[in-house]
């Protein structure tokens, strides 16, 4: 079951209230850019919203299931967008860094994610990840 969001600030780090930021995408409004989709997916991970993560994953690469409740769960600490690079009207990549703690240890996940837009909706395709 997804965790209830803090209605103050959105987890994605934009400094906006959750309902006006990623909350609107979680409620069904399509993300207008690959970067906004990436931010909303990060927020979904923070909030345990596996359904949104799966729904925004391209069907060609989407796993059949995703359990964000497996223990121990990471405690997400922040997101930094390093680069957003459109490569045509319907393709883009987003490089980001996500900080988290797991079992008392701090980590940084660095990923360059690929996105595609089909029928007006952006989807996560895949990414190259490194943990530090």
In this predicted structure, the answer to whether residue 77 has a pLDDT above a threshold of 90 is yes
- Structural domain of 109: 18-131
Q: Tell me whether residue 13 is in a domain.
A: no
Give the H or E element holding residue 22: helix 22-26
Residue 2 lies inside a defined structural domain of this protein: no
Determine, yes or no, domain membership for 89.
yes
Residue 48 falls inside a structural domain: yes
Domain at 108, CATH number: 3.10.450.50
Average pLDDT of every residue of the chain: 93
Query: Is residue 102 assigned to a domain?
Result: yes
| Cβ contact 79:111 at 8 Å | no
Number of domains in the chain: 1
Q: What does the pLDDT look like over 46-57, one tens digit per residue? A: 999 999 999 999
Give the separation between CA 19 and CA 15, rounded to whole angstroms.
12
Is 60 exceeded by the pLDDT of residue 97?
Answer: yes
pTM of this structure: 0.90
């Amino acid at each position: 079951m997804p965790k209830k969001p803090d209605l103050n600030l959105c987890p994605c780090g934009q400094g906006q209230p959750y309902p006006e930021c990623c909350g609107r995408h979680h409620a069904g409004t399509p993300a207008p850019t690959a970067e906004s989709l990436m931010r909303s997916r990060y927020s979904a991970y923070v909030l345990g919203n596996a359904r949104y993560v799966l729904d925004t994953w391209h069907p060609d690469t989407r796993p059949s299931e995703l359990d964000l409740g497996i223990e121990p769960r990471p405690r997400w600490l922040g997101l930094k967008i390093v680069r957003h690079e459109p490569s045509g009207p319907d393709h883009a990549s987003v490089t980001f860094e996500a900080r988290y703690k797991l079992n008392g240890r701090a980590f940084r996940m660095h990923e360059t994610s690929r996105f595609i837009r089909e029928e007006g909706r952006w989807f996560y395709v895949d990414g190259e990840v490194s943990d530090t």
